[in-house]
């Protein structure tokens, strides 16, 4: 009896061991046939454990539903989870970025300004050079210009561009038989006809001083077309607004609008919201403005947003006609990121057709993408479709603030003084040069 019990125990023990071994082998077969790859290979295993990348963004980024939609699509399609960290905006946020770079505490991915603010970070020290990546072939040269230094390219565009230009009400133009102007004289002639018809020709909203700058900021395409080296010479203290007629011309344009009485009567107190209402409803025909207004107008006046068109600030010569462009923020890869390959796949997807489709599924672009061969969705703003032609023809230039770190802080107040008749264009140019010099010295630029 005891002998039989021992045999039975031995049988159970052998059976148990065999089952354990079979289970172990089965687990190995399952892993091998799953089709997954580890994070070091591609970071795109949609069946295994997700690759995680950290990303530092400004506090407004997560308010953009299009941006969030792309992050979700990347996680779904590539199995790359983006762990977002939020920093403040403005100078405080810039200091956070600089501190984290200096201490080696930067996230894998950084969403930050393109242009001069990016150059101030010494990007070649901290960010991966993307210049030889195949996906960068899809990025327009005009954008690469504002994310490049030392013959290296560091970022992809985080969203579409926007432009500083003249919004116009197409119904007013149709009613009065006007054509889109290509010269400043043609614009002023249109303004006169609009004024005679009893409408506001140029909507002016000095109740919010920052809006006063647009006629001079939007003029930079024209300045660069006529004085190719202005941005570099201006940054080096060798060119001034007061001694460069093409640059001073922007102040003169503001002065001419005032002197001809083309502004709304309440221009000194009118607000940005009131300006948007006037251009949407057609009580005003023109509004020099950034195209960031389009989603706000669509929200408040959905049936009127496609009555709004856009044209560049005209120059004095019809052969010079192009848009001053506010380039989108950039997304860069930290050189110290643990999984640079996965980060590159992340960037590749972000600017791919799938990435753009994901973005557009939740938010409309406020300007053309700085990517090649992107087809705008059918429901794009009519104004953006008008801008697209200039991008396709290459008739765009980054705004001055993207190619020079210097922008005097008192420009809104100076423009408001010119547009209110209390300062001449020449006086404004000289005052702005003084303002700029103070800022250049604060930045530590070597000015005499």
State the pLDDT confidence band at 47, using cuts at 50, 70 and 90. Answer: low
Across 261-271, average pLDDT? 98
SS3 of 258, please?
helix
- CA distances for 287 relative to 124, 167, 225, angstroms: 40, 5, 23
Distance CA 124, CA 118 (A): 10
- Reply yes or no on whether the pLDDT at 91 is more than 80: yes
- For tokens 């560049």, the residue is 312
- For tokens 């432009």, the residue is 163
Across 426-432, average pLDDT? 98
pLDDT digits (tens, 9 = 90+) for 368-406: 999 998 888 899 999 999 999 999 999 999 999 999 999
Cβ contact 300:277 at 8 Å = yes
For residue 287, which of 317, 309, 314, 316 has the smallest C-alpha distance? 309
* Domains of the chain, start order: 51-160+328-374 (3.40.190.10), 162-326+396-442 (3.40.190.10)
DSSP code string of 394-443: T-EEE-HHHH-S---TTHHHHHHHHHTTSS-HHHHHHHHHHHHHHHHHHT
- Reply yes or no on whether the pLDDT at 51 is more than 90: yes
Least confident segment among 19-33, 133-147, 175-189, 199-213: 19-33
DSSP code string of 288-328: EEETTHHHHHHHH-TTTGGGEEEEPPPBSSTT---EEEEPP
- Reply yes or no on whether the pLDDT at 161 is more than 50: yes
pLDDT digits (tens, 9 = 90+) for 312-368: 999 999 999 999 999 999 999 999 999 999 999 999 999 999 999 999 999 999 999
For residue 268, which of 53, 420, 81 has the smallest C-alpha distance? 420
State the pLDDT confidence band at 68, using cuts at 50, 70 and 90. Answer: very high
Phi-psi region of 217 (alpha: psi -120 to 50; beta: other; left: phi over 0): alpha
SS3 of 263, please?
strand
Cβ contact 401:119 at 8 Å = no
- Chain centre distance of CA 243: 31
DSSP code string of 5-21: HHHHHHHHHHHHHHHHH
Range list of H helices, 65-128: 65-78, 90-102, 116-119, 123-126
Q: Copy the structure tokens of residue 412.
A: 């809104």
Q: Copy the structure tokens of residue 297.
A: 């107008």
Cβ contact 403:230 at 8 Å = no
State the pLDDT confidence band at 446, using cuts at 50, 70 and 90. Answer: confident
pLDDT of residue 443: 84
DSSP code string of 17-62: HHHHHHHHHHHHHHHHTS----TTTTS--SSSPPEEEEEEEETTGG
pLDDT of residue 10: 40
Phi, psi of 414 (to 5 degrees): -65, -45
Find the length of the chain.
448
- Strand partners of residue 32: none
Distance CA 343, CA 65 (A): 21
DSSP code string of 218-246: TTHHHHHHH-TTHHHHHHTTS--STT-HH
- Strand partners of residue 183: 315
pLDDT of residue 373: 87
Q: Indicate the average pLDDT of the chain.
A: 90
pLDDT of residue 294: 97
For residue 304, the tally of other CB atoms under 10 A from its CB is 17
pLDDT digits (tens, 9 = 90+) for 229-240: 999 999 999 999
For residue 350, which of 327, 374, 326 has the smallest C-alpha distance? 374
State the pLDDT confidence band at 90, using cuts at 50, 70 and 90. Answer: confident
How much is the pTM? 0.86
For residue 163, which of 415, 441, 400, 396 has the smallest C-alpha distance? 396
pLDDT of residue 442: 86
Distance CA 145, CA 142 (A): 5
pLDDT above 70 covers what percent of the chain? 89
State the pLDDT confidence band at 1, using cuts at 50, 70 and 90. Answer: very low
pLDDT digits (tens, 9 = 90+) for 7-42: 443 444 444 434 433 344 344 333 332 233 333 333
- Reply yes or no on whether the pLDDT at 98 is more than 80: yes
DSSP code string of 153-188: E--EESS--EEEEEEEEHHHHHHHT----SBHHHHH
Which H or E run contains 358?
helix 353-360
Least confident segment among 58-67, 262-271, 338-347: 58-67
Distance CA 276, CA 282 (A): 10
Give the largest CA-CA distance in the chain: 120
Non-local (6+) Cβ contacts of 317 within 8 A are 183
């Amino acid at each position: 009896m005891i002998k039989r019990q021992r045999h039975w125990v031995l049988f159970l023990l052998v059976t148990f061991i065999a089952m354990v071994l079979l289970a172990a082998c089965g687990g190995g077969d399952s892993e091998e046939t799953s089709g997954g790859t580890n994070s070091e290979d591609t970071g795109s295993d949609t069946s295994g454990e997700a690759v995680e990348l950290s990303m530092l963004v400004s506090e407004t980024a997560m308010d953009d539903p299009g941006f969030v939609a792309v992050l979700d699509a990347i996680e779904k399609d590539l199995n790359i989870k983006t762990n977002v960290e939020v920093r403040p905006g403005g100078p405080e946020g810039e200091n956070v970025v600089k501190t984290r770079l200096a201490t080696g505490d930067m996230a894998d991915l950084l969403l930050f300004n393109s242009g001069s603010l990016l150059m101030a970070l010494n990007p070649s020290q901290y960010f991966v050079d993307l210049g030889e990546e195949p996906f960068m072939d899809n990025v327009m040269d005009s954008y690469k210009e504002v994310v490049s230094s030392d013959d290296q390219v560091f970022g992809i565009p985080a969203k579409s561009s926007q432009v500083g230009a003249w919004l116009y009400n197409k119904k007013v133009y149709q009613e009065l038989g006007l054509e889109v102007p290509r010269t400043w004289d043609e614009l002023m002639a249109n303004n006169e006809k609009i004024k005679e018809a009893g409408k506001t020709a140029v909507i002016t909203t000095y109740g919010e001083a920052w809006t006063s700058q647009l006629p001079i900021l939007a003029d930079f395409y024209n300045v660069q077309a006529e004085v190719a080296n202005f941005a570099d010479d201006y940054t080096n203290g060798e060119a001034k607004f007061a001694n460069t007629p093409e640059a001073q011309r922007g102040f003169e344009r503001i002065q001419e609008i005032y002197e001809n009485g083309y502004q709304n009567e309440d221009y000194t107190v009118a607000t940005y919201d009131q300006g948007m209402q006037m251009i949407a409803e057609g009580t005003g025909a023109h509004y020099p403005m950034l195209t960031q207004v389009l989603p706000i107008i669509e929200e408040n006046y959905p049936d009127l947003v496609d009555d709004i068109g856009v044209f560049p600030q005209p120059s004095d010569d019809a052969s010079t006609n192009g848009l001053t462009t506010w380039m989108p923020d950039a997304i860069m890869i930290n050189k110290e990121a643990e999984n640079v390959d996965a980060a590159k796949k992340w960037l590749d997807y972000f600017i791919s057709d799938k990435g753009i489709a994901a973005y557009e599924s939740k938010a409309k672009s406020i300007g053309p993408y700085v990517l090649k061969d992107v087809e705008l969705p059918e429901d794009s703003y009519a104004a953006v479709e008008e801008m697209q032609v200039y991008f396709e023809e290459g008739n765009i230039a980054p705004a001055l603030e993207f190619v020079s770190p210097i922008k005097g802080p008192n420009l809104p107040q100076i423009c408001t003084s010119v547009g209110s008749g209390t300062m001449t264009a020449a006086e404004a140019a000289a005052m702005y040069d003084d303002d700029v010099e103070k800022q250049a010295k604060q930045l530590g630029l070597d000015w005499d």
